[in-house]
Amino acid sequence: MCPACITSSTTLLAGGLSAGGLVAFLATAFGGRVRASTSGQAGNAEPRSEHTMEGPAIVTHDKWLTARIALLEKEKALTRARDALAAERRQLPMVKVEKRYVFDTPDGPRTLAELFDGRNQLVVYHFMFAPGWVEGCPSCSLLGDHLDPSAVHLAQRDVTVAVVSRATLPEINRFKRRMGWQFTWVSSHASDFNRDFHVSFTPDDVASGRGIYNFREQGFPAEEAPGFSVFFKDDAGQVYHTYSTYARGGEPFIGVYTFLDMVPKGRDEDGLAFTMSWVRHHDRYDESYRVDRSRQYAQPAAKADCCDPLQPA
């Protein structure tokens, strides 16, 4: 998940139980299994509508209510544990940001401190979009679809949201217009910001599997990786780094997954070589939509490799 984006099956496993594994676990708990019908389909490409599920059991209302109340107790325990973890997260020590980072923005060059836009708290989403790519990562774009409605509310709680990518500003603006997004999106192309926060890797890093991601020396299968970083600015204007999260750490921001986790078929990602291979940019779903279950993660094509050139800036 890019979450997350999340990103790749390797990254998902590094973050804990995979999304596909979660579906398999739920199916086992139901006493059934999730399977895919291949009727009338060639190879591994399947329409999502033909996926079927065996289970859960059909019971009386009284038995359902008993099971639901038992699950409710577990949900309440999870809520309390999540609240406690959030409180602990807020008490993490802060690190003073000594380096001067400058970003290319629609309003000209802006420092990290200026991205706060008059507020004291800044949340940065590290969006996977490298210079030369024809478009941003589809998984990151799924998360991006959730940002605009949140930003206006967060602004009332002293929080500014900014998206940062290493692509150039003209590349970002083209893609942002295509997606219809309004959130603040700036370029770190001329700075070390992405490298310093471990979300960009050199071709040698990718080929050799070197590089720190999710606080481990584990490498990453693409030039760019997703994540969130949080900053605080005091009244004197000093900026501090308070928190970063990567891999599945961005998953709570994807409301689509919250919906899917409530329905019987769940995320329906079990058996996919890359769990988010079903995700498309929101303007790329149509009647021909199919899921290739064997498709691995592949970063977006570079301009020279694509027959669909970028529109003028």
Predicted confidence band at 259 (pLDDT cuts at 50, 70, 90)?
very high
Q: What is the pLDDT of residue 45?
A: 53
Tens of pLDDT, residues 42-74:
445 555 444 556 778 999 999 999 999 999 999
Provide the CATH number for the domain around residue 205.
Answer: 3.40.30.10
Pair 114, 160 in one domain: yes
What is the reported pTM? Answer: 0.81
* Greater model confidence, 114 or 313: 114
Q: How far apart are CA 206 and CA 195, in angstroms?
A: 13
Q: What is the pLDDT of residue 50?
A: 46
* Greater model confidence, 6 or 56: 56
Q: Which of 252, 272, 296 is where one domain is finished? A: 252
Pair 80, 107 in one domain: no
Structure tokens at 40: 């009338």
Nearest of 247, 267, 291 to residue 22 by alpha carbon: 267
Residue 265 domain flag:
yes
Domain residues for the domain of 34 are: 9-85+254-305
Tens of pLDDT, residues 185-206:
999 999 999 999 999 999 999 9
Predicted confidence band at 312 (pLDDT cuts at 50, 70, 90)?
very low
Query: What percent of the chain is predicted at pLDDT more than 90?
Result: 73
Show the DSSP H helices in 191-282 as ranges.
193-196, 203-208, 255-260
Residue 135 domain flag:
yes
CA 235 to chain CA centroid, Å, is 32
Nearest of 221, 216, 159, 151 to residue 183 by alpha carbon: 151
Pair 14, 54 in one domain: yes
Query: What percent of the chain is predicted at pLDDT more than 70?
Result: 80
Q: How far apart are CA 62 and CA 291, in angstroms?
A: 39
Pair 17, 66 in one domain: yes
Q: What is the pLDDT of residue 22?
A: 35
Q: What is the pLDDT of residue 46?
A: 53
- CB atoms under 10 Å from CB of 48, counted, come to 12
Give Dmax over CA atoms of the chain in angstroms: 66
Pair 143, 209 in one domain: yes
Pair 62, 125 in one domain: no
Tens of pLDDT, residues 144-173:
999 999 999 999 999 999 999 999 999 999
Please say whether the beta carbons of 193 and 164 come within 8 A.
yes
Q: Strands of the chain (E only): list them.
A: 33-36, 45-46, 51-54, 95-96, 102-105, 108-111, 121-126, 159-165, 185-187, 212-213, 216-217, 227-233, 239-246, 291-292
Pair 22, 134 in one domain: no
Domain count, the chain: 2
Please say whether the beta carbons of 33 and 51 come within 8 A.
no
